[in-house]
Amino acid sequence: MFTVKLVDVCRFCPHQPDESFFDRELFARSVVYLCEHSQRGALGLVINKPSEISLKDLFEKVELPLDRPDLAKAPVFYGGPMQTERGFVLHEATFADADKPELPVYSSTLAIPGGLEMTTSRDVLEAISTGAGPRKVLVSLGYSAWGEGQLESELGENSWLTVQADTRLIFDTPVTERYEQALQLLGLQAWMLSPDAGHA
């Protein structure tokens, strides 16, 4: 059984296939990076459900150039069902001043335990557009959220598995392999979670 402390430490939640889950299409075989978890609830971004929008398309829509050829074809992800018109940028930590690493560079940034940050303000897009800003980024529209005690309840029902995050899975692993790689961090394979496993 998982405890709240364990959920705080574990940042990935590869969702188990569950026919009774309220939104199978969105969360089936999803990997959610938990950005925040407290007594009030949890917030995360789905990192393996790309939308049909590329970063180049998104930057054109917000009227910014994109001087990062390495990001032009990268997908914008569907981060979850909440506030799907709002952008969330998951990125490596950036510092305004080496002497004051606690000062955020962007106007609306959440520091995440483990070294990543999530920014929701336009200034991070402006920095990326000029070739500055964080080098490793994942941009999503929308986020996933759980109310007070909801994630713990779903963990108790075995709707989710949790595992310590590895940033290579977010930024270096091909999107189509992220679910399987997250399961491998637990020593599992997808067929082991199938309700039909072992039946002829």
| H or E, element range at 27 | helix 24-27
* Per-residue exposure over 77-91, b if at least 16 CB sit within 10 Å of its own CB, e if not: bbbbeeeeeebbbbb
The average pLDDT across 113-129 equals: 93
Q: What is the pLDDT of residues 57-106, one digit of tens each?
A: 999 999 999 999 999 999 999 999 999 999 999 999 887 555 555 667 88
Has this prediction a pTM greater than 0.75?
Answer: yes
What are the structural domains of the chain? Answer: 4-193 (3.40.1740.10)
